[in-house]
Homo-oligomer: A and B are copies of this chain.
């Protein structure tokens, strides 16, 4: 089966976020006075082949633990869905 995982990797809430602070500074400079806080993270879409949803979940967990997230300072969450789209049909990925 073909799955697609929408993965969010964010800094743990207790970790300072210099990129978010820089973005906030830029927004305030542009006149967005209403901005109170900004946190920056990563959004990664992965298309993968797996036998069933349980295998897909264990694959995605392992990917996050081993490469996509730094467990010391980051956390991750994801939504998994059956994908109708084959990876070969995703433009810009080959």
| A23 interface residue (CB < 8 Å to B) | yes
Question: Which A49-89 residues sit within 8 Å CB-CB of chain B?
Answer: 49-50, 59, 62-63, 66-68, 86-88
Number of A residues contacting the other chain (C-beta, 8 Å)? 49
Q: Is the CB of B48 within 8 A of A87?
A: no
- Partner of A36 from B30, B42, B47 at Cβ < 8 Å: B47
Say whether B92 contacts A14, CB under 8 Å: yes
Does B45 lie within 8 Å of A42, measured CB to CB?
no
Copies of the chain in the assembly: 2
Question: Is chain A's binding surface mostly helix, strand, loop or mixed?
Answer: mixed
Complex-state Cα separation, A46 to B23, whole angstroms: 10
Taking A40-B42, A93-B39 as contacts, is the C-beta distance between A63 and B32 under 8 angstroms? yes
In this complex, what residue of B is CB-closest to A30? B66
Seen from chain A, the residues whose Cβ lies within 8 Å of a Cβ on chain B are 2, 8-11, 13-17, 20-21, 23-24, 26-27, 30, 32, 34-50, 59, 62-63, 66-68, 86-88, 90-94
